[in-house]
Amino acid sequence: MAQLLDGTSPETRPGPARILDVAELASVSVATVSRVLNGDSRVNHELRERVLASASQLGYRPNRLARNLRRRQMDVIGIVVPDIENPHFAAMVRVVEAIALGLGHRVLVCNTDEDGDRQAACLQMLADERVSGIVLSPSGPDGGIDHLRDLAIPVVTIERALRNGPADAVVADNVAAVRAATRRLIDAGHTNIAFVGGYSRVNAISMRQRGYLTAIEEAGLAPVLIGGQFLCDPAEVAVTALLRAKRPASALVVANNLMALGAIRAVRRAGLRIPGDVAVIAVDDPPWAELLDPPLTVLAQPIHAMATRAVEFIVRRLGGDQSPPVHDVFPLKLIVRRSCGTGHLP
Amino acid sequence: MAQLLDGTSPETRPGPARILDVAELASVSVATVSRVLNGDSRVNHELRERVLASASQLGYRPNRLARNLRRRQMDVIGIVVPDIENPHFAAMVRVVEAIALGLGHRVLVCNTDEDGDRQAACLQMLADERVSGIVLSPSGPDGGIDHLRDLAIPVVTIERALRNGPADAVVADNVAAVRAATRRLIDAGHTNIAFVGGYSRVNAISMRQRGYLTAIEEAGLAPVLIGGQFLCDPAEVAVTALLRAKRPASALVVANNLMALGAIRAVRRAGLRIPGDVAVIAVDDPPWAELLDPPLTVLAQPIHAMATRAVEFIVRRLGGDQSPPVHDVFPLKLIVRRSCGTGHLP
DNA sequence: TTGAAAGCGCTAACAT
DNA sequence: ATGTTAGCGCTTTCAA
């Protein structure tokens, strides 16, 4: 009798049609409408047709806000990255968005600026929103992960495993790759090789630093670590200072593409040439790497494959998989161009 | 008496604390808790303290899903861009995210791939989610805008004004800027200048094309329009074909940074030199433009200022402003580097 | 197979 | 100034 108690007819009622309006027009209950709309199979064919017709006649669109409350979940995947202007993370967001869309999910993006507090705030916010899952590219400490597990929100980290919050992780083999790249410079005769990175101990950059240090130590050389805050301009400043030192480096291992830009600019402005005066190898293979002069030798990350795998993990957990967290490791690929000055080596 | 009727004590109840739990612990009504949490001033100081203490003791976090339903709105700003991997749009998203965060809003990102149908789907989806506002960088026809106005969701377009759905717009002065840039090449003696762009008639690219055509026609030259689909690889293919033509162009006006990458690669692979064989001017000033060899002459868009203004429009409309839509025009800035071969001109 | 009805947790209109 | 209560629109038992 709800229909009759509702004094307003569908035509006069303002605003978007509700499920009740569809039910009335089709002369069925709201439960039946809901079943049809959610693909519940056990509903009479004729009723289904009536419901569908009414819904389309009214231009009915389910109110997701109500749906979310009832189901205690938004169909949204959160993605937390240090900086979406970094082409590396932009590619990640792109892949996650494309796949999420296919799963009927939206994507909420958060930038952390490599700030642990902001990361924690983002995670808290995404928890408050009851997102379905989170893809996290960690920067800073592992704040807030426990809270997410309490809410049964699956988290997958990309680029770095979490310490105290076991979660699936998709990581690149940074240590081995950077070690090999550094080794290559050493084999080419360089004895003063600097590493351009942040000073972070919490993300992929630190793994790259470890790879660099390993190679340097193995060769009995002295390490030179300089900052860069993961960004272009700070890296330029740091490299400029380095090049003015008494014994400037003859080779640079740069920990990401943004800092590579800054480092190269610094070398140019110092009037030095690449690779003649300074050899350069950088991590990340942005589209412009091969167009620089000289083309940049890089360690390319299979970012699309990694992001895809990350979403697969989320989907698996959403499907109820309770098995222990997995760490998937992807290899980096060395692409030798001219900036490292060792193109003639194997 | 609701407290007493609720048979479970706060300690035993599983899951996150609700507003009712806080109310019980503080011995006040849920309305008072809600008032405190929403900054309603007319609440007794002592009660406020009690509520705050209880909330913090329980680790209470408001359930946004319920809040959203009740308020019929998510505190979310949707941003619809053709391709977030394009540094231009990445910067836009970044700015919008930062400002939105300050306003207590989250950001939902959608890629359209320059596809009108996908854009319409994104808009519909954002409407379904009842986002607070939408920043749209249009590609394809203006599908779905009416619908958004029915729901009183403010929309601001960036880079292009909408035809049939009056909305605030933040646009760049593409026609004038590209016309001036083309004119520069003409004045330098070029008579065979090609425009590398898509064939779209619906977005900023078409305005740039118009600017090019205007300058070419004014000079009595023959226009050469080639495709590129706004992307790197297609542009490379198109430019490669162009350079193999009987009378290859001696100058290129490229409509965005992605296509510039492809165009430059094509010129290189054809064994030609910039600017000697082919002069190049491109729209957009990505960070790598000045590091190319030769550094790229560009038309830089004040993207940060534009994105900021876009959010300001949203905020203004959210504040109830009903005044007629505004179109704000931002000038593009010509940055002369060496790729255009006319550095000696004023 | 279908319908009635009970909430999901919050806000806000109304009552005190 | 504070409390009571009626929904927001939907999904999902439970009963028929």
Q: What is the pLDDT of residues B291-340, one digit of tens each?
A: 898 999 999 999 999 999 999 999 999 888 989 999 999 999 999 999 99
Assess whether B297 and B178 both reside in one domain: yes
* Whole-prediction pTM: 0.91
CB contact under 8 A, A68 and B69: yes
Distance A35 CA to C3 C1' (A): 12
> Of B71, B90, B112, at which residue does a domain stop?
B71
Assess whether A167 and A242 both reside in one domain: no
Say what the pLDDT of residue A164 is: 67
Say what the pLDDT of residue A9 is: 45
Assess whether A206 and A290 both reside in one domain: yes
> Of B11, B46, B71, at which residue does a domain stop?
B71
Q: Please tell me the distance from the alpha carbon of residue B193 to that of residue A67, in angstroms, as a whole number.
A: 56
Q: Please tell me the distance from the alpha carbon of residue A257 to that of residue A330, in angstroms, as a whole number.
A: 19
Q: What is the pLDDT of residues A204-257, one digit of tens each?
A: 888 999 999 999 999 999 999 998 888 899 999 999 999 998 888 999 999 999
CATH number of the domain enclosing A193: 3.40.50.2300
Distance B138 CA to C8 C1' (A): 37
Tell me the pLDDT band of A2, cut-offs 50, 70 and 90: very low
Segment 187-246 of chain A within 8 Å of chain B by CB: 232
The answer to whether residue A132 sits within a structural domain is yes
The answer to whether residue B11 sits within a structural domain is no
Assess whether A260 and A188 both reside in one domain: yes
Would you give the DSSP letter of residue B292?
B
Say what the pLDDT of residue B332 is: 97
Question: Which range of residues forms the domain containing residue A60?
Answer: 19-71
Assess whether A191 and A288 both reside in one domain: yes
Say what the pLDDT of residue B202 is: 62
Say what the pLDDT of residue A145 is: 80
Assess whether A25 and A36 both reside in one domain: yes
Q: Is the pLDDT of residue A161 over 90?
A: no
Q: What is the pLDDT of residues A323-339, one digit of tens each?
A: 999 999 999 999 999 99
Contacts of B264 in chain A (CB under 8 A): 291
Assess whether B50 and B133 both reside in one domain: no
Q: Please tell me the distance from the alpha carbon of residue B86 to that of residue B104, in angstroms, as a whole number.
A: 27
Q: How many helices (H) and strands (E) does chain A have?
A: 13, 12
The answer to whether residue A12 sits within a structural domain is no
The answer to whether residue B318 sits within a structural domain is yes
Q: What is the pLDDT of residues A44-78, one digit of tens each?
A: 999 999 999 999 999 999 999 999 999 999 999 99
What's the total number of domains in chain B? 3
> Of A56, A71, A86, at which residue does a domain stop?
A71
Q: Please tell me the distance from the alpha carbon of residue A240 to that of residue A254, in angstroms, as a whole number.
A: 14
Residue numbers in chain B where pLDDT is lower than 50: 1-10, 344-346
Q: What is the pLDDT of residues A253-277, one digit of tens each?
A: 999 999 999 999 999 999 999 999 9
Does any strand C atom come closer than 7 Å to the Cβ of B317? Answer: no
Q: What is the pLDDT of residues B208-229, one digit of tens each?
A: 999 999 999 999 999 999 988 8
CB contact under 8 A, A288 and B62: no
Q: Residue range A142-162: average pLDDT?
A: 84
Say what the pLDDT of residue B5 is: 36
The answer to whether residue B59 sits within a structural domain is yes
Assess whether B322 and B237 both reside in one domain: no
Say what the pLDDT of residue A4 is: 36
Say what the pLDDT of residue B188 is: 94
Q: Is the pLDDT of residue A35 over 50?
A: yes
Say what the pLDDT of residue B7 is: 38
Assess whether B190 and B241 both reside in one domain: yes
The DSSP line for A246-274 is SS--SEEEESSHHHHHHHHHHHHHTT--T
Assess whether A26 and A126 both reside in one domain: no
The answer to whether residue A10 sits within a structural domain is no
Assess whether A218 and A104 both reside in one domain: no
What rounded mean pLDDT belongs to chain A? 90
Say what the pLDDT of residue B14 is: 81
Q: Please tell me the distance from the alpha carbon of residue B21 to that of residue B10, in angstroms, as a whole number.
A: 6
- Percentage of residues in chain A having pLDDT higher than 90: 76
Phi-psi region of A222 (alpha: psi -120 to 50; beta: other; left: phi over 0): beta
What rounded mean pLDDT belongs to chain B? 90
Does any strand C atom come closer than 7 Å to the Cβ of A47? Answer: yes
Q: State both tokens at A268.
A: 């140019």
The answer to whether residue A13 sits within a structural domain is no
Q: Please tell me the distance from the alpha carbon of residue A209 to that of residue A195, in angstroms, as a whole number.
A: 7
**B13 in reach of chain A (CB within 8 A):** no
Assess whether B103 and B61 both reside in one domain: no
The answer to whether residue B229 sits within a structural domain is yes
Say what the pLDDT of residue B93 is: 97
